[in-house]
Every structure is written in C-alpha cells, then in structure tokens.
Structure 1
Amino acid sequence: MTRPNAAIVVTAIALLFAGLASWGIYSYLSKESAKSKAASGQAIVVAAVDMPIGAKLSAAQLKTANVPTENIPQGSFTAPQQLEGRIVVRQLTAGDTITEQKLMPKEGATATGVMTYIVPQGHRAVTVGVNEVAGVAGFLAPNNRVDVVLVNGNVKVYQLRELKSVPLPGRELLNPGKRKS
C-alpha cells in the first residue's frame, strides 16, 4: 500500500474543520435569530410629540412602537383609538409609553380639574389674586419659580427693595391664569 500524499491529508482535515466551523456558526445564528424573533415584541401606543399636562389626546399625537414583551409596562395601550379624547395628567415627551396612570380616569375626562394631578401628594395649592396692572400678565408661565410676599396697601415700592426676609421663597407657579397673545 502506498501512503496518501501529505497535501491530500491536510486538505481533507481542513475541509473537515471548515465544515464543523460552518455548522457551529449556522447553529448559533439560528438560535439567535429565533431569540430576536421571539423578543420582537408587541406594538404599543407611545407619544408622537411632547404633550403638557391637560392635553386632550388625538390620533395625530400618537403612534405605535414595537416593544419587547417583557418590557411592556402594565396599563399600556395597543391601539391609538383607545385613547381618543383622553386627558394627560403627567407631562409626556415624544416616545414616552402612554399608560393608564398617565391619563385622567375615563369618568372625569374634562380638561378642567387637572390641578389635582399637578400638586404633589402632601402639598397644597394656594390661589393668589393678582391683576394685569400688577405686571404679571404674560410674564409668568407654569413651572416658573416666584417669591411670595404678603404686603398691605400702605407699603411703598422703595420699602419692598429693603425687604430682609421673604416668607415663601422660590415657590413653583402651577398656573398663572389665562395668557393673552
């Protein structure tokens, strides 16, 4: 018997290892592909645009996005039609998942009454009367910080500049009233 040529043996061994490597890579990629298909998730409703508290939802403000099934928050919605006319009680940014907790309950769905959702639990809101002559018309916006000072009608402007302490400094302004444009 003659011995096989060394080149033939090396080629046969190389082909065997190449076949094993190809089979291993194919198996691995098949499993990863199956995992990614399983994790492709479900379509849920998200905000298409930024929305302030009190905004009434419409189809133009909503879109759907695929989310892995294990990451879908409880109370989320699958169709934009489910949210038509609902009122937002938490500020939303584009891409935020819309859940039941971020919306006013269905039985109270009017744009009025959102102040209940703006004031943090354990805090109180106070109404302070001011008029346009007082100089605040159009200059203040929600979430501005203001110092609240109580003065009687006999105080002169120069006396306010000498005020040593402010009873309520840096208070958050929830709603300055109607803005005139």
Structure 2
Amino acid sequence: MKPARLVIMGVAVVAAGLAGFIAMNLAGRQNVVTQVQSVIEREPSVNVLVVSANMPVGARINEKSVRWMPWPKSGVVAGLVTESEKPNAIRDLQGAVVRLPLFEGEPLRPEKVADSSSRVMSSLLPAGKRAVATDITAVTGAGGFILPNDRVDVLMVRKPEADGKYRSETVLTNVRVLAIDQQIQEKEDGSKTVLGTTATLELTPDQAKALTVAQQLAVRISLALRSVADSQEKDTVAPEDLLTGPDSSSMVQVIKSGKIAPDGFTPPKSE
C-alpha cells in the first residue's frame, strides 16, 4: 500500500476517535433532570353542622334543613356545632325556630336558633326587648313595601293645638320590624310586598312606653322605611317628652287636650 494512503487512513482513524471523544465528553456534561413527585397531605377535618337550604326568620328546622359537612380542623372556631362534640345535634334541633336568616352551606350557630318549645314571636325577641304593635295602612306603611326584618322610623302627626296647626315629629328611629300582621317572613310565592294593617316592632321598654303615648296623642302614626346601609345606627333612643321621667314605673301619665300634663299623677304607695 502506498504511503500516501496509509497517511490518509491514519488521519481518518485519528479524526474519528477524536470526534467520538468529544461527543462522549459533551454528553457527560449535560444536566441530569430528576423528577420529584410532590406529595400533598390532606388537612385533618371534622364534621360541622351546616344549613342545607336557605331558611327565613321564623322557619322551623327539620332533618332536611341541616347536614354534616367536612370542615378543615384548623378552621373550626368556637360556636360551631361539631359531630364529635354533639353527635345528636340534628335530632336535638328538630322544630327549633330560626331567629336570624340562614343560608345554604352556612355553619349553624346556636345563637341563630331558639328552642323548639319556644313560641315563635317570643323566640325572635332579643333579651330586654319588647314586641309592640301599631296600626298601619298602605299610606302609613310605605305603600306595603315594608317587610319583616326591615328598619323603620316611627313618625307622629300630633293633634292640632290651639293655633289649629298640625305638627309632626320622629318618635323612634331605626327600629326593627318583627312582623306585618301575622307574617314574620316574606310570602312563599316570592312576592315582595305585604299589605298589612298591623306592624309589630322590636322596642326597648322605654320605646314601648313612648309609642303607647304617641298612639294616644297622634292623629296619625306612620312608618318610614330605612335604607339597609343605616342598619348599624343606634336603635334604642326614646323621646324624653313622651316619657314621664326616671320614676315612670310609679307614675300615671295624664293627657289633657292632646298634651301630656307636666306633672302627671303619682299613685299612693301601699303600706
């Protein structure tokens, strides 16, 4: 074989070996990707009693109204009813009266319901409050657009005085409507107005006295519907001029010519 061919073959062999070495070297330098499978651990949960359907004020709870639902253990706060603490809660709540509106999926809290043996209206009243009724018409009741659980102002038009002029004043502000006639919730057919003749209001004892006096002094008592945005305003104020004073429990109010007598009458104390 000629020397030239031997040289060419040698160069080819060396080039092939060099190429293979370079390829192996580059392959070894590539990053190795390691797949790591994430393991997701499920947070421990407990069964919490929740509402199965929307329930208005005054509705009674039955076995279809509530159910147990898994709830993250870390999200359980004081006041929630858990199966571990009260396994018979569904049975024990049968017939209980709803005091505040409940919505589907909401955890049921004991303070939102009243005992099944309670009368509906008395169970809706917070401690220290009174239910007092006043006559209304479509005109004096905001055209029938006042519904149970709304907030209203009570307005009074006084009987004309010596000058023959009528005067109006606000007797109560932002008080809650408990019922219209005998209805303590919206009509089942979905209508949004209740044309009643009597509105039952949630009042403090002093407010109840003031409204009773106003009903005797007034030509007309009207209810003015308040905005939902005003619901946080104070609702326990009673007008001083319609009360007999700090010792009103021992006095009889005297009304002369449509006005409260300045001094009233204090009955003698029994010995």
TM-score scaled to structure 2, two decimals? Answer: 0.45
The Cα offsets for residues 94-140 of structure 1, whole Å up to 9 and x where unpaired, read as: 11101333332xxx423515545544x6x63351342779976x934
Please provide the CA RMSD for this pair.
3.8
- Cα distance between partner residues in 2 of 1:174 and 1:9: 86
Seen in structure 2, the aligned counterparts of structure 1 residues 110 and 141 have a Cα distance that, compared at 3 Å, is: farther
Tell me which residue corresponds to 1:130.
135
Cα distance in 1 between the residues matched to 2:29 and 2:122? 77
Q: Residue 171 of structure 1 corresponds to which residue in structure 2?
A: 175
Question: Which residue number in structure 2 is paired with residue 89 of structure 1?
Answer: 99
Instruction: Give 1 or 2: higher helix fraction.
Output: 1
CA contact (8 A) 2:98 2:112 kept: yes
**Matching residue of 2:33:** 18
SS at match of 2:98: coil
The residue aligned with 2:148 is 142
Cα distance in 1, alignment partners of residues 73 and 175 from structure 2: 42
Structure 1 residues 112 and 11, CA, compared in 2 at 3 Å: closer, same or farther? Answer: farther
AA paired with 1:14?
A: Q
Secondary structure of 1:93's partner?
coil
Please identify the structure whose Cα radius of gyration is greater: 2
The aligned amino acid for 1:8 is M
What is the letter of the counterpart of residue 23 of structure 2? A
Residues 40 and 7 (structure 1), Cα distance of their counterparts in 2 relative to 1, 3 Å cut: farther
CA contact (8 A) 1:44 1:77 kept: yes
- Is 1:110 the counterpart of 2:117? The answer is yes
What is the TM-score with the length of structure 1 in the denominator?
0.62
Q: Could you say which structure has the higher strand fraction?
A: 2
Q: Any stretches of 5+ residues in structure 1 without a counterpart?
A: none
Which sections of structure 2, spanning at least 5 residues, go unmatched? 1-16, 184-193, 196-271
- The DSSP-based 3-state class of the residue aligned with 1:127 is strand
Rounded to whole Å, the distance in 2 between the matches of 1:42 and 1:6 is 62
Can you list the C-alpha shifts for 1:44-85, whole angstroms capped at 9, x where unaligned? 221122212332112322233321111123341336734433
Contact 1:77/1:98 (8 A) holds in 2: no
What is the aligned counterpart of 2:76 among 72, 75, 81? 72
Give the total of aligned pairs: 157
Looking at structure 1, the residues matched to 131 and 94 of structure 2 have their Cα atoms a distance apart, in angstroms, of 32
Partner of 1:8: 24
* Alignment partner, residue 14 of structure 2: none
Aligned-residue sequence identity (percent) comes to 15
Contact kept? 1:40, 1:66, Cα under 8 Å: no
With over 3 angstroms needed to count, the CA separation of the structure-2 counterparts of 1:172 and 1:131, relative to structure 1, is closer
User: Match for 1:48: what amino acid?
Assistant: S
